[in-house]
Amino acid sequence: MAFQPIPRAAALLLLAVLLVACQRSEEKRENASGIPAALLAMKPKEDPTAVAVLMYHYIESHDDARDPRGADLFVPTDMFEQQLQWIVAHGYRTIDLHTYLALRSRAINEPKKSIILTFDDGYADAFQNVFPLLQKYHQKAVFYIVSGFLGKPGYMTMDQVKTLHDAGMTIAGHTVSHVDLRFLSAKELRHQLEESKKTLEALIDAPVDHFAYPAGRYNSRVIEMVQALGYKTAVTTHHGVARARDPLLQLPRVRMTKRTNLAAVLP
């Protein structure tokens, strides 16, 4: 019998069927576990260095009706305690910024449920209301201190800041007078960043390696000076969870208010 060539269309169809069969055979050979190959090929989306940096200001009661603009700066003391209780109950662990840097560099493997508590400005309630609750629930936090406000009405004293440090809390810089750094001369900018650092370091007898931009305002010139003066991290007011892609001198934070749902904001 004479050989009859296969029509072109049929040949292409046969080739496609063979290719699919080979691909399925290869998937079965490489994936004996039964997990779909598409899932195995996906890169994990979880960032093991993702940490929520929670930003607080005042921990005390506030009359929102009389001062609606300041409402989101206040968390009542009892609500803050409830938030700490939730953090503990759900297996989260508060870490300091030194530990965070080690986590970022993969020098250590921290539990996935790590968070950082931060308190801006050095208000008196940070010592009177926050500190006892941190001790009660065995948690740690970072306190960004405006050095020129120490001892003034409504702010912590030097002795109180030293007590926080001695108890294992992190003391960090927040300038001398909480000014908008973007519009300062080079000399004034250095003064705000350097003098605050020196004052706090002399007070606690330890390095001050971390910084918060007043009101979250900064630009590239400010970042350069922060870096030049040896700060290792700096936090902003940009909303978000701190991840490996975030520059260490531009870390985002999660603003804590009376309406914040911890379950929704923590990674």
- Asked if 149 and 121 count as a contact pair (C-beta separation under 8 A), the reply is yes
Phi, psi of 178 (to 5 degrees): 55, 55
Residue 211 near residue 172, CB atoms below 8 Å: yes
Residue 136: CB partners within 8 Å, gap ≥ 6?
none
Confidence band of 23 (pLDDT split at 50, 70, 90):
low
- Residue range 240-252: average pLDDT? 96
Per DSSP, the three-state class of 42 is coil
Does 40 score more than 60 pLDDT?
Answer: no
Beta strands in 127-209 (DSSP E): 142-145, 170-173
Q: H/E element holding 121?
A: strand 114-121
Check residue 70 and give its pLDDT: 76
pLDDT for position 55 = 98
Tokens describing residue 142: 């970072």
When pLDDT is cut at 50, 70 and 90, the band that residue 170 belongs to is: very high
Stated pTM of the model: 0.81
Find, among 249, 245, 256, the residue nearest to 51 by Cα: 245
- Residue 136 carries which DSSP code? H
Lowest mean pLDDT among 72-81, 151-160, 182-191: 72-81
| Percent of the chain whose predicted confidence (pLDDT) is above 90 | 70
Indicate whether 165 pLDDT > 90: yes
Q: Which residues contact 165 (CB under 8 A, 6 or more apart)?
A: 171, 204, 206
Cβ proximity of 52 and 254 under 8 Å: yes
Tokens 């999660």 label which residue? Answer: 254
* Residue 109 banded pLDDT, cuts 50, 70, 90: low
Contact 144, 120 (CB under 8 A): yes
What are the sequence ranges of the domains in the chain?
8-41, 52-265
- The answer to whether the CB of 127 falls within 8 A of the CB of 166 is no
DSSP 81: H
Per CATH, the homologous superfamily of domain 52-265 is Glycoside hydrolase/deacetylase (3.20.20.370)
Average confidence score pLDDT of the chain: 86
Highest mean pLDDT among 13-17, 27-31, 137-141: 137-141
Query: Which of these, 266, 264, 233, lies nearest to 250 by C-alpha position?
Result: 233
Burial tier of 14 (Cβ tally within 10 Å: 0-12, 13-18, 19+): exposed
Highest mean pLDDT among 4-18, 47-61, 109-123, 130-144 belongs to: 130-144
Cα–Cα distance for residue pair 155/19, rounded to 1 Å:
73
